[in-house]
């Protein structure tokens, strides 16, 4: 990625193109679901140690998806804020069926 994006709206189509592998999308979804679960566990148990698991789950699953299946470098290395936003937009769109787990 050499282009510097100036808005999230401009970045998001690129973000989706970097997630064209079905397994990569599935791993992102699982990792994001686990992030939400660890946050709920931290809040419900009062044990903040669960929060340490959140980035491990999120980035761990995503990076396996990129390096092993997608064979590209995660956008979070160059555009961390837009990439984090993209993770959650893609998560919501996968959850609601707006985009498919199996890219066209």
CA nearest neighbour of 11 among 69, 100, 90: 90
CB 85 within 8 A of CB 10: no
C-alpha 95/C-alpha 98 separation (Å) is 8
Structure tokens at 68: 């092993």
| Tokens found for residue 13 | 């189509």
How high is the pLDDT of residue 104?
64
Tens digit of pLDDT per residue, the chain (104 long)? 567 899 999 999 999 999 999 999 999 999 999 999 999 999 999 999 999 999 999 999 999 999 999 999 998 888 999 999 999 999 999 999 999 988 76
pTM of the predicted model as reported, rounded to 2 decimal places: 0.91
To which residue do tokens 């592998």 refer? Answer: 21
């Amino acid at each position: 990625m050499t282009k510097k994006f100036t808005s999230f709206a401009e970045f998001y189509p690129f973000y989706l193109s970097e997630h064209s592998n079905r397994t990569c999308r599935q791993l992102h979804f699982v990792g994001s679901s686990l992030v939400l679960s660890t946050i709920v566990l931290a809040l419900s148990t009062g044990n903040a140690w669960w929060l340490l698991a959140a980035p491990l789950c999120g980035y761990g699953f995503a990076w396996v998806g990129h390096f092993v299946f997608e064979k590209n470098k995660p956008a979070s290395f160059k555009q961390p804020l837009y990439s984090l936003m993209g993770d959650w937009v893609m998560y919501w769109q996968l959850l609601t069926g707006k985009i498919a787990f199996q890219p066209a």
